[in-house]
Amino acid sequence: MPESVTTLQRTGGREISRIVYNEDTIAARVAEMGHEISEAYAQNEPLLVLGLLKGSFIFMSDLVRHIHRPLHLDFIVASSYGSGTVTSGDVNLLYDPSISLESKHIVLVEDIVDSGTTLSRLVPMLERRGPLSLEICTLLHKHIAANLILEPRWVGFDAPHEFLIGYGLDHSEDFRNLPFIGSL
């Protein structure tokens, strides 16, 4: 492991216990997901890829480069977590896309589905804006959400029930820049 990664592993006294998905594994799966999304919509239909910040920013940027069809993109900022590793149950919308969702196919891009609280709040809100369709694409899914109102159509990996960091995912804002996904 490179020196820089070793240093990152000790950020704030927290230690990464293991690498769960390495760079190559992530890249291969993200490319597959991009191709699947490309084929799911007719070429002439308007597609808006909507990323949930901040966690999805790296996944989103890799993913859209594997979607080989015209698209628009925007972001939403929804915060459901404080600084710790346990969900608070509240979702605050800090940024809302200014562009219309009406008569567009929407793919909502998430980093990880955990309790499902974020999606359960967001999906009805987005559906009220009259999209042609709404689908969720998540890199990771813990499969512990009790009442997900919309199951993700595209899931990168069925994630272990651990706190994962890296490739956009954070713990108290640390570790987002790790190129792999690790467990704390």
Q: Which of 90, 111, 114, 170 is catalytic?
A: 114
Interaction of residue 55 with Mg ion, rule CB under 5 A: yes
- Shortest Å distance, C-beta 135 to ligand IMP: 16
Please confirm, yes or no, whether 74 is among the known catalytic residues.
Answer: no
Interaction of residue 168 with Mg ion, rule CB under 5 A: no
Pick from 34, 51, 55, 97 the residue near ligand IMP by CB under 6 A.
55
Interaction of residue 11 with ligand IMP, rule CB under 6 A: no
> Which of these, 127, 77, 133, lies nearest to 104 by C-alpha position?
133
Interaction of residue 172 with ligand IMP, rule CB under 6 A: no
What's the distance, CA 22 to chain centroid? Answer: 17
Transcribe 47-87 into DSSP letters.
EEEEEEETTTHHHHHHHHTT--S--EEEEEEEE---SSSS-
Pick from 76, 107, 111, 141 the residue near ligand IMP by CB under 6 A.
111
Q: What ranges make up the beta strands (E) of the chain?
A: 18-21, 47-53, 72-79, 92-95, 105-113, 133-141, 154-158, 164-165, 181-183
Task: State which residue has the least CB distance to ligand IMP.
Answer: 115
Exposure of 70 by Cβ count < 10 A (0-12 exposed, 13-18 middle, 19+ buried)? exposed
Chosen from ligand IMP, Mg ion, none, partner binding at 138 (C-beta under 5 to 8 Å by type):
none
Instruction: Please identify, using beta-carbon distances, which residue of 45 and 57 lies nearer to ligand IMP.
Output: 57
Interaction of residue 51 with Mg ion, rule CB under 5 A: no
Task: Please give the single-letter amino acid code of residue 171.
Answer: H
Contact residues toward ligand IMP (CB under 6 A) are 52, 55, 80-81, 87, 110-118, 163-165, 169
Q: Which residues are catalytic?
A: 114
